[in-house]
Each structure stands twice: as structure tokens, then as C-alpha cells.
Amino acid sequence: MKITREVVQGLYKQTGTARVDADVAASFKVGDAIQARNINPTGHTRLPRYIRGKQGRIATDHGVFKFADSLAHGGGNQPQHLYSVRFDAQELWGAAAPAQDCLYIDLWDDYLEPA
């Protein structure tokens, strides 16, 4: 297939969601202290290295979504909760980071463990 402007525009206009309508129990609730797992998988992951092993708090539970890592490796949807997690800047980058700064990042259940 030749990639033309029309093909790209058609793909760009497609909508969809990774949200899954499945009854999956949440591992965490808003306010829970968590630690990002310190994993080093082969291939694709959406868990940034600078987050691994760091502690944060669950800010929002977005609901159940397809797990991107599993999809990238042909392992199917593996639906699980996706959370917005708040990390203090000093937890991520040390004492030189401004004390009032923080970072919010969306992370799946498989990336997290209780702190």
C-alpha cells in the first residue's frame, strides 16, 4: 500500500479508546502511597526509567484500560486500572528540585506496588 496524504488523514481522523468495559478490581484507591516497580523489561514499556523505584500517591483512578505493554508484545489487552500518580519533584530529582513542584503521570496497575 502506498502511503498517501489521504491515507494518513484517514488514519488521523479515526477515533477510538483504550478504555475497556470490564469488571477488574482496583489494586489502589485515591490517596494510597505507592512505589513504581523497578523493572527492566525487554522491549516496550511506558514506565519511564526516572520513575522506577520512586514513591508517589494515587491522585486519580481513570478506570480500566488495555495495558499498552501487553499489546505491544502481542499479549492481548490484559485490562487493568490506569491511575494518575503524583510524584514530588524532590523524590524524582533530589533536593535541588523545587520543593513545591510535582509531576503527575499515568501508570497502570502492573507498574505499581504498595509503598
The amino acid that residue 2 corresponds to is K
Every domain of the chain and the residues it spans: 18-114
pTM higher than 0.75, yes or no? Answer: yes
Helices marked H in 1-115 — which ranges?
Answer: 5-13, 68-72, 89-93
The reported pLDDT for the residue numbered 9 is 73
Q: Any idea which residue has 499489546 for its cell? A: 71
Number of residues assigned to the chain: 115
88-110 pLDDT tens trace: 999 999 999 999 999 999 999 99
16-70 pLDDT tens trace: 778 999 999 999 999 999 999 999 988 879 999 999 999 999 999 999 999 988 8
Q: Was domain 18-114 assigned CATH 2.30.30.50?
A: yes
d(CA 103, CA 50): 11
Contact call for residues 113 and 35 (beta carbons, < 8 A): yes
